[in-house]
Homo-oligomer: A and B are copies of this chain.
């Protein structure tokens, strides 16, 4: 009883594909993340790519954006329930390698 035309791993790969999304998601596992903070801690990254990655992670429902304060502007991204559901997968992979 194999699934021939769908694959959950392909879904995961799609959600986390690209140069920066895996790193951003992993940092988000430790708590709230912010645009400029990510930009500084992920070396080699750039505004545009981080912005696109955050938007995609949001669109896939793994992160949710939250405006904390308007003065001064403060926006945070947090794992959604869907995002948190991936934690066991990460843990399982850790045991493997």
Contacts and interface: CB of A to CB of B under 8 A. Distances in A.
B96 A86 contact: yes
Number of copies: 2
Given A89-B89, A93-B89, A96-B89, A26 B11 contact: no
Contacts of A8: 90, 93-94, 96-97
A10 B30 contact: no
A88 interface: yes
Interface in A28-53: 29-30
A62 interface: no
Interface of A: 2-3, 7-13, 16-17, 22-23, 26, 29-30, 85-86, 88-90, 92-94, 96-97
